Structure 1
Amino acid sequence: MPIPAFNRRTRLGFASGAVIAGTFALTCLAAPGSAAAATASSAPATYTVQSGDYLTKIAQAEHVPGGWQALAQANGIVSPYILQPGQQLALPGGSTAPKVSSTATASKASATPASATTSTQSYPNNLNGWINHALAIMKQHGIPGSYNGIHRNIMRESSGNPNAINNWDSNAAAGHPSIGLLQVIQPTFNTYHVAGTSWNIYDPVANITAACNYAAHRYGSIDNVNSAY
Structure 2
Amino acid sequence: MRSEYAEEKGLSSADLAADWTAQFDRWFADAVAYPLPEPNAMVLGTADADGRPSGRIVLLKGYDPDGFVFFTNHTSRKGRQLQANPYASLVFPWFPMQRQVNVTGRVVPVDRAETEAYFASRPRGSQLGAWASPQSQVIPDRATLEENQRAVAERFADVDPIPAPPHWGGLRVLPDTVEFWQGRASRLHDRLRYRRTDEGPWVVERLAP
TM-score (norm 2): 0.25
Q: Which structure: greater strand fraction? A: 2
The structure with the larger Rg is 1
* TM-score calculated relative to the size of structure 1: 0.23
